[in-house]
């Protein structure tokens, strides 16, 4: 499940339990709508409550990233599992955004960093 909040050109996404293709069916149109209003978006992605990601969800995420290579300025990823850190590094390969990974204790720092752009 995904929860989102928008503040200007910053989108805060919180992934909970399992990330599925249906989550991306809901999130993608919202991001594309925001991209019509803003040249670039900043993304704060909280994965601290995420348990699993389906392969189909990973594919949708990568597909979206490739379609929007230059549409994000900063991406802050907050997580605590090793695979989440690997995903954040993978994300840098499919985006021109500045991507940083933060541990859960650094949520405030991550939020501050992503909003500086």
For domain 2-105, the CATH architecture is 3-Layer(aba) Sandwich (3.40)
Rg, C-alpha atoms of the chain: 13
Q: Residue 9: is its pLDDT beyond 90?
A: yes
Kindly report, residue by residue over 72-117, the tens digit of the pLDDT: 999 999 998 777 777 777 767 767 889 899 999 999 999 999 999 6
Give burial (CB, 10 Å; 0-12/13-18/19+) of 69.
exposed
If you average pLDDT over residues 2-11, what whole number do you get?
A: 94
| pTM reported for the whole predicted model | 0.89
Kindly report, residue by residue over 20-79, the tens digit of the pLDDT: 999 988 999 999 999 999 999 999 999 999 988 888 988 888 788 888 889 999 999 999
């Amino acid at each position: 499940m995904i929860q989102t909040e928008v503040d200007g050109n910053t989108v805060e996404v919180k992934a909970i339990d399992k990330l599925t293709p249906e989550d991306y069916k809901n999130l993608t149109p919202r991001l594309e709508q925001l991209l019509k209003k803003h040249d670039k978006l900043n993304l704060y992605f909280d994965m601290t409550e995420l348990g699993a990601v389906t392969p189909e969800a990973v594919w949708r995420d990568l597909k979206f990233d490739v379609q929007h290579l230059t549409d994000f300025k900063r991406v802050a990823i907050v997580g605590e599992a090793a695979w989440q850190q690997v995903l954040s590094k993978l994300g840098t390969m499919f985006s021109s955004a500045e991507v940083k990974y933060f541990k859960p204790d650094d949520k405030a720092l991550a939020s501050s960093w992503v909003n500086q752009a």
